Structure 1
C-alpha cells in the first residue's frame, strides 16, 4: 500500500519535479576529467585527491540541481552561488593536479550558472568560462588535443542560454495570464453580484411601495407583500453567497416567471412567454442573465406602461414603450446615448453576450421606447 508521502506533490509543476534532469544529464561528461584524474602522472595520493574532487564536484552539481528546482528555497540565487563556489573549488583542485583535462568540468559550471543565476549574470559567467577555456588552450597550446572542450562549452552555453531565456519568458507569460484570469474572475463576480442585487432590490423596492399603499386599504394583502419581500431578501442573500462561490446558474424559465411578476408588480403590462422550451439549451444561461438585467432596467428606469419579451431558438427580444436607452439613441444626443448605454448592467450584458459569441443590439422601438435584442 502506498503511503501519502509516496504521492507526487500536486503543488509542484512538472518543471519543478523533473527539470533537474536537464542539468544532471550532462554528468556523463565527467568521465573525461575522472579518467584523467585516475590516470594522472602524479603520486597516488594526488590521484586519489583528484578523483575525490571530481566525485564531490559531481555530487554537488547533481544535488544542487535537484535542490534548486524545489520551491522552498528561501534565497535561490544566494544558495546557487554557494554551490557554484564549492564546485569551482573542486574544479581548481582537480585542475592543479591534472591540468587542462580538468576543463571538461567547466561545462557543468556553465550550465549550473545559466540555470540558477539571474539571466544576465548567468550569461556573463558562461562567457567567462568560455574565455578562460580559450586562454588555457592558448597558454598550453592544446587546441589540437583539447579544442573539443571549447566547442562543447560553446554549444552547451548556447543551448542552455536559449532554454533559460524561454523559461523566463514562459514564467512572465504565466504570471500575466494568472493576473488576467484574476481580473476576469473579479469582473465576473462583480457583474454577477450587480445582476443579482440589482434585480432583487428593484423587485423589493416595487413590492415595498405596493405594501405601503395597501397597508391601510388592505392589510392582509400588505402582509402578503411583506412576506414576499422577506422571501426575496432571503433568496437574494442565498444567490449572493452562491455567486461569490462561483456556483450560481441562472435559469431562463425561472427568469421568465420573475420578469412577469416584477413587471406586473410595477404596474407594467407584461407580455412574457410562459415557457423557454423554444430556446436552444446552449443559449438559455446567457439569455437568462440578459433577461434579468433588461427587465430590471425596464422596471427601474424606463417609466414604461408595457413590456414585451419574445423568444426564439437563437434570440431574445425585450421591448418597452418607455424612455430607456432606445429613447436616447433616437434623440441623437451623444451625451444621452453614452449615459443610456454605459451603465454597469448593460456593460455586463454586453460582456456576457460577446463572450457567448452572440450580438447585442439596443435600438429605439417602433412607436417609442427601447428594443433590446440578442441574437446568435
Structure 2
C-alpha cells in the first residue's frame, strides 16, 4: 500500500517519473476559457519589446518576416497549450519540444534575454511527465547558455539564465504538487464511492438475513395456525400462533429500523431461542444447545448470523425432519437430514462468508452422505499465552 501511495502522489518511485500528468478527465489543465486572457498578460513583457524592435526596423525583409513569425508562433503556442492536456503522450511531447525549440530560435534570432525560454520550459513542466520535463528543459537551458556565450552576452545574461532555471525548478515542484492534490481529490471521491457501496452491501446483507428469517418464521407460523383451524378447530392454539406472528412482525419492524441506523446487534442466545420456536412450528425435531457460554464472546454475533441463515435455509428448502446444532469456543455446526444433494451458495451464504472473513473465520458447507447439509463456521483458535495452559472447549448440546 505504501508503494502504491508513493507512486500516485509523489516522485519516490521510477514509475511516477514517467507517469502522464493530468490524465484523468477531471484534471484537464488550466481553464481553457480564462487562460487566453491570463496568457496574453504573461506574454506582454515579451511581446511588447519584441514588437517594438520589429517595427523599428527601417526595411521589411524576408528575415524580418521570419523572425516575426517565429516570435508570434512561440507566443501562440503558449496561448493554446491548455488544449494539449488531453492529447496523447507523443503529441504532447512533440508540442513541448517544439515550444522549447521555438524559444531557442527566438533567443538566437533576436538576441534577447533568456527570460523568454521560461514560457517553453514551464509548458513542458506542466504538460509532460516529470522525467521528460527534465530531459527536455535541462538541455534547453544549456543550449540557451551556449547561445549567450556565442553572442558574447554570457557575462550579462547568466544571471537571467539562473533565474529562469530557478523559476523552472519551482514550477516543476509546483506541477508535481498540483498533480498530487488532484489525484488525492480523485482518491477521496473513490473512497466515498466505496464507502457508499460498502454501506449498501451492509444494509442489503443485514436486511436479507433479518427479513429472510423473520418472514420465513412468520410464514411457517401462519401456516401452522391455518392447519390447526382447518384440521382440529383448536382456536386457542391458533390464536396463540397468530399472537406469535404479530410479535415476530413487530420485532422484525424494529430490527429493520435498527439495521438502517446501524444499531442492531445479533445475540446468539436469542437466535437459539428463535430457532427453537421456528423449528417447533415447522414440526422439525430440534437438537439444540441450551447455553452459549462456551462460545467466545467476540464470536457470538457472527455465529448468531450463521445460525439464523442456516435455520432459515432449513425452513425454506431442506424438507428436513431433524436439525442438530453444535457449538464450540470458536466454531458452530448446523446439520440437517433434508433432501439437499448439492451445495448452492446464494446471497445468504455469501453474506455469511463475508461476515466471518471480517473476524478471520471461514464458512464451509457440505452435503451429508445420507442427504442434507452440514454448515460449519469456524474461526482459528488464537495462540494461547505461554503461561496459560490451553483448555479444550467442549460443545454444549442437548435435546430441545
The answer on whether the counterparts of 1:137 and 1:147 sit within 8 Å (CA) in structure 2 is no
- TM-aligned CA deviation for residue 290 of structure 1: 0.9
After alignment, is 280-289 or 172-181 more displaced? Answer: 172-181
Change in Cα spacing, 1:359 to 1:289, as seen in structure 2 (3 Å) is: same
Measure, in 2, the Cα distance between the counterparts of 1:228 and 1:257. Answer: 13
Residue number in structure 2 paired with 1:196: 210
Measure, in 2, the Cα distance between the counterparts of 1:177 and 1:352. Answer: 21
Q: Does 1:309 align with 2:325?
A: yes
Residue number in structure 1 paired with 2:358: 355
Residue number in structure 2 paired with 1:81: 35
Measure, in 1, the Cα distance between the counterparts of 2:41 and 2:131. Answer: 18
Residue number in structure 1 paired with 2:304: 288
Q: Answer 1 or 2: higher relative contact order, Cα 8 Å, separation at least 6.
A: 2
Deviation per residue, 1:118-145 (Å, 9 max, x gap): x6799999999x9799879957935423
Measure, in 2, the Cα distance between the counterparts of 1:137 and 1:231. Answer: 91
Measure, in 2, the Cα distance between the counterparts of 1:92 and 1:165. Answer: 29
- TM-aligned CA deviation for residue 360 of structure 1: 1.1
What stretches of structure 1 of length at least 5 have no aligned partner? 1-75, 329-339
Alpha-carbon RMSD across the aligned residues, in angstroms, is 3.9
After alignment, is 277-286 or 313-322 more displaced? Answer: 277-286
Moved over 4 A (4+): 89-96, 100-104, 119-128, 130-140
Residue number in structure 1 paired with 2:274: 258
The answer on whether the counterparts of 1:133 and 1:150 sit within 8 Å (CA) in structure 2 is no
Partner SS for 2:31: helix
Residue number in structure 2 paired with 1:232: 248
Residue number in structure 1 paired with 2:220: 206
The answer on whether the counterparts of 1:257 and 1:274 sit within 8 Å (CA) in structure 2 is no
Matches within 5 A, 1:1-376: 77=31, 81=35, 84-85=38-39, 88=42, 141=153, 143-216=157-230, 217-324=233-340, 327-328=341-342, 340-365=343-368, 367-376=370-379
- TM-aligned CA deviation for residue 79 of structure 1: 8.4
* Larger gyration radius, structure 1 or structure 2: 2
Structure with higher helix content: 1
- TM-aligned CA deviation for residue 313 of structure 1: 0.7
After alignment, is 166-175 or 211-220 more displaced? Answer: 166-175
- TM-aligned CA deviation for residue 351 of structure 1: 1.8
The answer on whether the counterparts of 1:103 and 1:133 sit within 8 Å (CA) in structure 2 is no
